A = this chain, B = another copy of it.
Amino acid sequence: MSNTAARYLTMLRMVPRYPRSITTTELASRLEEQGFSVTMRSIQRDLEKLSADFPLLVDENSRPYRWSFDRNATMDIIPALDLPAALTFELAKAYLSPMLPPRALSHLKPHFDEAHRTLLREKNPLGQWPDRVRVINRGLGGARPPVDADVLEAVTEALLREYQCKLTYQARSWPEPEEIVVHPFGLIFRDPNVYLIGTIEGREGVRQLVLHRATAGEVVEELIERPEDFDLDLYIHSGAMGILKSDEPVYLKLRCDKPVLNHLIESPLGFDQITTEIDDKTFEIAVTVGDTQDLRWWLTAQAVHCDILEPAWLREEIEDTLKQGLKRTRRTGNA
């Protein structure tokens, strides 16, 4: 391929999406780095030619000119998105839409759009793919609390660059919002919330900040202080997120009703699950699972359809939960 065509491609990749931009001079030096030695004049000419075929924006008020790529456009060069890939994007969109903060999703939008266009372009003249697929999300489908766009962006950038960030934050127990400087260590996405793990300048201990409680955020360009031994996985497994009730895995033995719980046969709860058919109406499974809150919820809800054979202590715990719940519903019903 000729030098020129290759340079065109390289240049296109260097032009960032609006509202960011790059100057002709920057382009010149970055092209030099990549081994293209051209004069400024050529670059100026190139950009003009390219903008005939690509949605390039130019700000002629600043000098040197600043070039950007249209905010919503994206072009996959090689090779065009094939059908299965486009489909998968479409699916990904359906899955992620309720999960990720809208601002985060907006960064994927150009790619989803590209996929969508590919599907519509396909032979199917009716373009009815959207009528053909549904994703049904589990759970109650409640709304996620909205995370402020600036906050999310500031936090992610700070994390990546190991900078501090300043947040206007109000913890549940604080009487009013405060401006705090955070040393971020990690981000945890746990439906429906996004947690920032880190320390607050001037206060003790590692904290969890729920991102939707922050109303403003900006990066502070100073390096964070981070304990040598901090490890996000250890932190999670220490139980700080209230997920694991204990570090010990649970060896679970259930006697399940058919056909209600049939799906457990095909979607085992864990790698080591052993399933034993008992009779037409019953089967047993034995499996090791994490000792989580979600496990308890599940067992409580499924208690009608299965017997918890082991461990006894967990059965008793569930029994107790059921008893308490029953007491409440009865009281409410009589009131």
Point out residues on A near B: beta carbons under 8 Å: 1-2, 4-6, 8-9, 12-17, 20, 49-50, 52-54, 69, 73-80, 82-85, 87-89, 91-92, 94-96, 99-100, 104-105, 107-108, 111, 119, 122-124, 126, 129, 131-145, 153, 156-157, 159-162, 172, 185-193, 210, 212, 231-233, 236, 241, 243, 255, 259, 262-264, 266-271, 289-290, 292, 294-298, 300-304, 306-309, 312, 315-316, 318-319, 321-326, 328-333
Closest to A53 in B: B1
Closest to A135 in B: B189
> Is B160 in contact with A83, judged by CB distance below 8 angstroms?
yes
Partner among B107, B139, B303 whose Cβ is within 8 Å of the Cβ of A85:
B107
> Is A108 in contact with B132, judged by CB distance below 8 angstroms?
no
Query: Using Cβ atoms and an 8 Å threshold, which residues of chain B touch A264?
Result: 142
> Is A332 in contact with B315, judged by CB distance below 8 angstroms?
yes
Query: Using Cβ atoms and an 8 Å threshold, which residues of chain B touch A300?
Result: 300-301, 325
> Is B322 in contact with A160, judged by CB distance below 8 angstroms?
no
Question: How many whole Å from A215's CB to the nearest CB in chain B?
Answer: 14
> Is A136 in contact with B241, judged by CB distance below 8 angstroms?
yes
Assembly CA distance A213 to B302 (angstroms): 25
Partner among B4, B241, B268, B325 whose Cβ is within 8 Å of the Cβ of A322:
B325
> Is A267 in contact with B307, judged by CB distance below 8 angstroms?
no
Partner among B162, B306, B329 whose Cβ is within 8 Å of the Cβ of A315:
B329
Partner among B145, B172, B193, B262 whose Cβ is within 8 Å of the Cβ of A172:
B262
Query: Using Cβ atoms and an 8 Å threshold, which residues of chain B touch A312?
Result: 333
> Is B269 in contact with A142, judged by CB distance below 8 angstroms?
yes
Query: Using Cβ atoms and an 8 Å threshold, which residues of chain B touch A111?
Result: 111
> Is B6 in contact with A76, judged by CB distance below 8 angstroms?
no
Closest to A119 in B: B160
Question: How many whole Å from A167's CB to the nearest CB in chain B?
Answer: 17
Assembly CA distance A294 to B142 (angstroms): 12
Given contacts A89-B108, A124-B160, A134-B236, contact A79 B1 (CB under 8 A): no
